[in-house]
Amino acid sequence: MVLPISQFCQTPGQFFVNQAGHHRIAINRRGKYIESITLAAGTQQKRSNSKMSSAPAPVLDMNKLNAFIGQFVTDLGASVHAGMVVIGEKLGLYKALAAQPLSSAELAAKTKTDERYLREWLSSQAAGGYITYDDASGKFSLNTEQEFTLANEDSPAYLPGAFELALASLAAVPRITESFLTGKGMGWHEHAEGVFHGCEKFFRPGYVANLVTSWIPALTGVQQKLEAGARVADIGCGKGASTLLMAQAFPKSHFFGFDYHDKSIEGARASAKRDGLADRVSFDVAAAKEFPGREYDFVAVFDCLHDMGDPVGAAKHVLKSLAKDGTWMIVEPFANDQLKDNLNPVGRIYYGFSTLLCTPSSRSQEVGLCLGAQAGEARIRNVVTSAGFTRFRRAAETPFNIVYEARP
């Protein structure tokens, strides 16, 4: 059996790998030269025409090569898959399949979509393991786990938002590519609309699962203050998911959300009104170094300190805004201090988002410290203590986040 992979090479030619561990290369350079090489058992045999010579080809470890090509196939499928998930969510396809098994024709009728497009989409989702296909009935459905993660927006493991964020982030690739050459930044507000919606959907499930049940209880005395009635500021609140979750859990407290992005604040205000919380929750446009108010009992920043151009300046402003016995909660993406310890699937995700979103955002602002999404505890501690906080500790963590507590 011979596996052609030449179509994935950037240079002209053909590269074949067979099960015996041999490979053959035939490179056509401007139609003038063809070389054929066979490698076997650590030896090299080379035949070339008299017009040109070439350096010996490297001896390849076939197991490693095939494993890497397998990784490539998985990654390419995942790249295209992101768009498929976004389509499925926006058209309500997952929710329709959660109700009952359906054929492509039945799903088309139920969702008022085109059957032929649906047939391709369903096939791609079944191949990726995101929906279940029954060959006997020719129908598609969601199993319990697929329904929990793809069709239930209130689930703490709801996944489509992550794909919307990823897909919208990639729209900035041409500009970020140019930034590699110029060093210029790109403000958060300059990204595609899907970045803002996707970001809220991406982070909200983690907040639903952990914020009230484990993160706030892990902080010294904060839960008791919130239950009794406290003044709370949520800095960099975006569309307000974290603010509203806290407000729902602690009805005696008042919450103030701030973000420099006006469109996100508009969305947050609409959500507060929709949820009947506008009497205790307010949202205003303000930067992290300029938000109004003093004597806050509790200040929180969720997954945004590393995006700031001047996080030390922001930390100083938080310190001034806190009551003497106030607490600052800093939620950051999970990261170890050393690069070698972040070379894993979670680190891969965050380094990618950091390249497209976080680092450009910081670079677009004053100072441009560029902590990045994988800053790690040591760098966050340095930012906080440099601002004047005297107490800092890791209070809680999940596979995706670390929660820090800072006090004056």
DSSP assignment string, 19-56? TTS-EEEE--STTS--EEEEEETTEEEEEE-TT---PP
Q: Give pLDDT, residue 57.
A: 76
**Percent share of the chain, pLDDT over 70:** 87
Q: Give pLDDT, residue 20.
A: 41
**Alpha carbon distance 128, 138 (integer Å):** 17
Q: Give pLDDT, residue 68.
A: 95
Whether residue 11 is predicted with pLDDT greater than 50 in this model: the reply is no
Who has greater pLDDT, 142 or 51?
Answer: 142
Whether residue 323 is predicted with pLDDT greater than 50 in this model: the reply is yes
Strand partners, 298: 232, 327
Are 354 and 362 contacting, i.e. CB atoms less than 8 angstroms apart?
Answer: no
Q: Which of 355, 334, 330, 332 is nearest to 344 (CA)?
A: 334
> What are the tens digits of pLDDT across the range 37-88?
444 444 444 444 444 556 777 889 999 999 999 999 999 999 999 999 999 9
In the predicted model, what is the mean pLDDT of residues 227-244?
98
Kindly report the backbone phi and psi dihedral angles of residue 370, in degrees, each rounded to the nearest multiple of 5, phi listed first. Answer: 55, 60
In the predicted model, what is the mean pLDDT of residues 283-296?
98
Dihedral of alpha carbons 192, 193, 194, 197, sign:
positive
Q: Which has the minimum average pLDDT: 2-16, 76-90, 309-323, 386-400?
A: 2-16
Q: What is the pTM of this model?
A: 0.84
In the predicted model, what is the mean pLDDT of residues 313-334?
98
Q: Which has the minimum average pLDDT: 57-71, 221-235, 333-347?
A: 57-71
In the predicted model, what is the mean pLDDT of residues 213-241?
98
**Which residue has tokens 């990261």?**
335
